[in-house]
Amino acid sequence: MLIDNLKQIDPKGSTIVCASKYVGSESIRKMYNLGIKNMGENRVQAFLKKYDDLTDLDITWHFIGHLQTNKVKDVINKIEYLHSLDSIKLANEIEKYANKEIKCFIEINSGEESKSGISYDEALNFFNELKKYDKIKVVGFMTMAPNTDDKDVIKGVFMRLKNFRDSIDSNLYLSMGMSNDYEIALECGATHIRLGSILWKGEY
Ligand SMILES: *Cc1c(COP(=O)(O)O)cnc(C)c1O
């Protein structure tokens, strides 16, 4: 039961962004009715379908996956948060097509295995460059920990992002933590945890 899945999560005051990519519109509707209003999708076509199906609900849509520049115009005015801003090229497309301010997390690459995200070396410059963009409001940083059982490695990744955030502005948000590592992320100060499989157990 979705309600039992939800009950086992203690977000400790942080925002749960439900990764709804695993399920269809009617499952999302059920989750919404349990009080989860923030939904995160990572595929453009699937998102557009669910968006159309659920216009009667007051969902706050987050785009949490890599966003190709040629897809920006299709999604940008349907979302409130983008968790994966990682290039000037993408920022330029957002500036061109958004007709409102988009709240964006800069995605930082924390490991070799992931191709998405900007490196720490480039992140401060990127953050400063984005101040020129009227349609982009940088609200924080996002990262994904490597897929490992080593809690110290995961903690190191999340603490690095927290310390980097603190060096810029401790009021900025931290989007980090997924089903397997959200408790560590919360210990490290996550403000937004992106949860999928743990919430949808039994539903797909
Ligand atoms: C799918 C996804 C999640 C959630 O993953 P789970 O391990 O199922 O909780 C979080 N963030 C991103 C970017 C995702 O694509």
Q: What is the four-CA torsion angle of 137, 115, 165, 196, rounded to 10 degrees?
A: 80
Among 167, 147, 172, smallest CA distance to 157 is for 147
Closest atom of ligand 1 to 198 CA is: 9
Tens of pLDDT along 168-196?
999 999 999 999 999 999 999 999 999 99
CB 19 within 8 A of CB 196: yes
The CB of 117 under 6 Å from ligand 1? The reply is no
- Determine which helix (DSSP H) or strand (DSSP E) holds 174, and give its type and residue range: strand 173-175
Evaluate if pTM is beyond 0.85. Answer: yes
Number of domains making up the chain: 1
What's the pLDDT score for residue 95? 98
* Structural domain for 61, as ranges: 2-200
**How far is CA 31 from its chain centroid?**
18
What CATH number is given to the structural domain containing 191? 3.20.20.10
The CB of 143 under 6 Å from ligand 1? The reply is no
What's the pLDDT score for residue 111? 83
Tens of pLDDT along 55-92?
999 999 999 999 999 999 999 999 999 999 999 999 99
**Which one of 194, 199, 201 would you pick to mutate in the ligand 1 pocket, going by the greatest count of ligand atoms within 8 A of its CB?**
194
Closest atom of ligand 1 to 65 CA is: 13
The alpha carbon of 195 and the centre of ligand 1 are apart by a number of angstroms equal to 6
The alpha carbon of 180 and the centre of ligand 1 are apart by a number of angstroms equal to 10
Is the pLDDT at 137 greater than 90, yes or no? Answer: yes
The CB of 43 under 6 Å from ligand 1? The reply is no
